[in-house]
Amino acid sequence: MLYLASQSPRRRELLAHLGRPFGTLDIDVPEHRQPGEPPEDYVRRVAREKAGAGLLKVVAVPGARVLGADTEVVLGDEVFGKPSDADDAAAMLRRLSGRTHRVVSVVWLLSASREAQAVSISEVTFAALDDAVIAAYIATGEWQGKAGAYGIQGAAQAFVAHLSGSHSGVMGLPLYETARLLRDDGAMP
């Protein structure tokens, strides 16, 4: 049985596209970057901790496999997590305006006998965003619960001047990499 260690509706929707049945696990893992921890290492660690916490919940299920994922927006060495409020979200969008940032998405697949990971790094270039555009986007509420204060699958698509990488990875679960992990594990044809 495959489990997704996430309650994210976006991750559930994306994983469903692969056509394999799965259950979801509600896990709570602290997401705090350690001092001096490189952004990619941080995302890799958090994704692994999510998968590990999920595996602990289903360790008694024979053949259980758990997917854990984390996705963060990175500008330079700064990791933009989920904004704390509308002002924080607007500040993030102002910093991303007219610039190229990275979106790091890491997926871990854990079972009692095996673990594997995949990393997707995409580059996203935002158009210049004026205060009126940012305020209108903030008013939609779409920024809530999203790394970097935006969801590429919604109205923020209009901000993206260029994307190099994985659209689904920017959404929160890189499907190509996830499908490859499942195929290599024998969980998918």
Active-site annotation, residues: 70
Instruction: Quote the tokens at residue 54.
Output: 């999920």
- Strand stretches in 11-75, DSSP E: 23-24, 65-75
Parallel, antiparallel, or unpaired for β 65-75 and 78-80?
antiparallel
Which of 27, 74, 68, 75 is CA-nearest to residue 47? 68
CA 26 to chain centre: 16
Residue 81 to residue 146: CA distance in whole angstroms: 7
